[in-house]
Amino acid sequence: MIVGNRITKVEASRDKPDPRKGLNFKINVKDAKITAKKVEIAYEYVAEYTEGVGIIRMDGVITAEEEKALLDKIKKEWTDNKRLPQEYAEVIINAINYFGSVNGVLASRIVNLSPPLVPPRFSLSKKE
């Protein structure tokens, strides 16, 4: 269970006055430190506005308290492959995406970029 998120570094720049045409995201898990009851996962979140319009980059650390069996699995996978177990990676990547998007709104405002959010697509079905 994720119990905390700490942003350690934020960079934001607007390099062109052009409107946003696209947005690419990159999430990189940089390190995992496992103790008896917790895992600390260092990450980098990047929102890159296409055509060189701008960039938002954040480094942070997610802290999670997990059961011993899961901590052992995380430790083994990280030690052997420098990756998180597949099912756990999905949880962490979604959390990083959430934290990055929420905090990216603040960073984008400072440099006059549109927020790094991709709104969900809704579709309507016909009533039968």
Domain ranges, ordered by start, for the chain:
2-110
pLDDT classification of 117: cutoffs 50, 70, 90: confident
Q: How far is CA 114 from CA 2, 35, 45, 85, in A?
A: 28, 39, 17, 34
Q: Which residues pair with 49 in a beta bridge?
A: 23, 54
Q: Judge whether residue 128 has pLDDT over 80.
A: no
The pTM (predicted TM-score) of the whole model is: 0.87
**pLDDT of 44:** 98
Indicate the pLDDT class of residue 13, thresholds 50, 70 and 90: very high
Average per-residue pLDDT for the chain: 93
Instruction: Specify the pLDDT at position 120.
Output: 64
Backbone angles phi, psi at 52, to 5 degrees: 70, 20
